[in-house]
Structure 1
Amino acid sequence: MPTAGIVLAAGDGSRLGGRAKALLPHRGRPLLHTVVEALLGGGCDEVVVVVGAFGDEVAAACPTGATAVHNPDWSDGMSTSLRHGVDAARTHDRVALTVVDFPGITADLVRHVLDEHRPGTVTLPVFGDHPGHPVVFDIADALTAADEAAGDEGARSFLARNRDRVRRVDCSDLAEAGDVDTPEDLRRLR
Structure 2
Amino acid sequence: MTVAGIVLAAGDGSRLGGRAKALLPHRGRPLLHTVADALREGGCDEVVVVVGAYGDEVAAECDPNITVARNPLWAEGMSTSLRAGVGASAGHSTVALTVVDFPGITAELVRTVLSAHEPGTVTLPVFGDRPGHPVVFDRADAVAAAAQATGDEGARSFLARNCDRVRRLDCSSLAEAADIDTPEDLRRLDLDFPENG
TM range (shorter): over 0.9
| Bigger Cα displacement from structure 2, 83-92 vs 61-70 | 61-70
CA distance in 1, matches of 2:41, 2:141: 24
The CA deviation at 1:135 is 0.2
Q: Say yes or no: does 1:105 pair with 2:105.
A: yes
1:74-116 per-position Cα deviation (integer Å, ceiling 9, x unaligned): 0000000000000111210000000000111000000000000
CA contact (8 A) 1:36 1:63 kept: no
Name the counterpart of 1:151: 151
Match of 1:55 in 2: 55
Following TM superposition, by how much is the alpha carbon of 1:63 offset from its aligned partner in structure 2, in angstroms? 2.8
CA–CA separation in structure 1 for the residues paired with 2:186 and 2:71: 25
Distance 1:174 1:189 in 2: 18
Structure 1 residue 64 displacement after superposition = 4.2
| Equivalent residue, structure 2, for 1:91 | 91
Q: How does 1:12-161 map to 2 (within 5 A)?
A: 12-161=12-161
Amino acid corresponding to residue 169 of structure 1 in structure 2: L
Q: CA RMSD in A?
A: 0.7
Structure 2 residue matching 1:7: 3-state secondary structure:
strand
Contact 1:36 1:47 in 2 (8 A): yes
CA distance in 2, matches of 1:162, 1:63: 36
Letter in 1 for 2:57: E
- In structure 2, C-alpha distance between the alignment counterparts of 1:176 and 1:13, rounded to whole Å: 21
TM-score where L is the length of structure 2? 0.95
User: CA–CA distance in 1 between the matches of 2:30 and 2:68?
Assistant: 15
Displacement of 1:185 in angstroms is: 0.9
Runs of 4+ in structure 1 off by over 4 angstroms are: none
Give the paired residue count: 190
Q: Normalising by structure 1, report the TM-score.
A: 0.99
Please give the per-residue CA displacement for 1:122-168, whole angstroms capped at 9, x wherever unaligned. 00000011110000000000000000100000000000000000000
Give unmatched runs, 5+ long, in structure 1. none
> Unpaired runs of 5+ in structure 2?
192-197
1:9-58 Cα distance to aligned partner (Å, 9 max, x none): 00000000000000000111100000000000000001000000000000
